[in-house]
Amino acid sequence: MPLLEDPPVTAALPKVIEFFAGVGLARMGLEQAGFRVTWANDYEPDKYAMYTAHFRDEELGSEHTFDLGDVFAIDRTAVPRDAAIAWGSSPCTDLSLAGSRGGIRAGESNAFWGYIEALKQLGDDRPPVVVLENVVGLATSHGGDDLTAAIRAFNELGYSIDVLAIDARRFIPQSRPRLFLVGAQNPPVETTVPNPELRPDYLSWIYEDETLCTHRAELPTPPASLTTGLDAYIEPMPVADDRWWDANRTELFIKSLSPIQSERIAALRRATGVTYRTAYRRTRNGVATWEVRPDDIAGCLRTARGGSSKQAVVKVGNKRIQVRWMTPLEYARLMGAGDYNLEGARTNQALFAFGDAVAVPAVAWLGKHYLMPLATGTLGAADRQTAVV
């Protein structure tokens, strides 16, 4: 009788089902933390095209299914029932401070309830751990009512909720604060004073509301926020590259700066050596202006369907200034996905996809220090409780 082949190493890894997968940056972070994503869903064909081109699951024979379509219309009988974690990065359009602020039941952000319905349909086979990732605006949307509604929805499914605020700036030179709701059927009992680096004061009311089932896990302090490092993420480009704006457009850029910003750029221009900064175009009193960040990190990358949301690179020093739009590779690098396969992706397709995603290293840190110990029963294992709803 022939010997059985050894099973793949991945067979023992905890499985994840991923809602609102986008181009798979959450998957990248989770897999860095030791998980295996076996199922994903998103409704945007452009993101699906990038996802499949990068991960090549079908070509490589990976155990992975991508369900392309609206979260409300997925085949819920096909959602795997053996996952350790469900991850959902639901649309932030109506929750973001830069968006409509319509709330969790408005527009695209209403898709959160499709995530809840899908989990509900899994019944007793729901993963023991769930995650919701979204913008920090969720904490203040409708005076906190939207965050309360989200927590209560998870509570009704048997999950106690912990809420963390993590800025990608702790890992990469991009200002990108996000909320992470971590739900556990068997949450750890609190043993220490909660870490204010992860749970700032504006989240304290959540744990004081006795109508909500919450917990605060003991976690290590994350790395300090970066204040420098942008230059290492900028794509090298010759001075004569036609992606740099011409003299007239560059002069219009300079003229649009406020007096304070203009002097700041002038000082950098006089300096020896090259400095990089990022800039956004804003509308102030009906006039389009440019605002340049004063520090050596990027502003928060956003979806690039409108010109004002695109981020520009400013190269200044040695009496020269050059300006251009940020490239897809730079967006990928600033999301912690510098090795992402961009072949075949259109520029705006890539910019939108990365601007609408979660930073890989933030997910990897959360996965390593919280989700993996929680999923494997080693987080607070000596003293655990069952979520009471």
Catalytic residue numbers read: 92
Integer-rounded Cα Rg, in Å, for the chain is 22
Cα–Cα distance list, 46 to 49, 53, 137, 348 (Å): 5, 11, 26, 10
Query: Alpha-carbon distance 93 to 222, whole Å?
Result: 28
**CB–CB of 168/143 below 8 Å?**
no
The SS3 of residue 132 is strand
CA angle in degrees (0–180, nearest 5) for 301-45-363: 45
* DSSP H or E run through 281: strand 275-284
The SS3 of residue 249 is helix
Strand 287-292 versus strand 320-325 pairing type: unpaired
Query: Alpha-carbon distance 24 to 111, whole Å?
Result: 18
Q: What's the burial of 320, exposed, middle or buried (CB within 10 Å: 0-12/13-18/19+)?
A: exposed
The SS3 of residue 135 is strand
Query: Alpha-carbon distance 68 to 17, whole Å?
Result: 14
Nearest to residue 363, comparing CAs of 180, 138, 188?
180
Other CB atoms within 10 A of residue 251 CB: 12
Other CB atoms within 10 A of residue 20 CB: 29
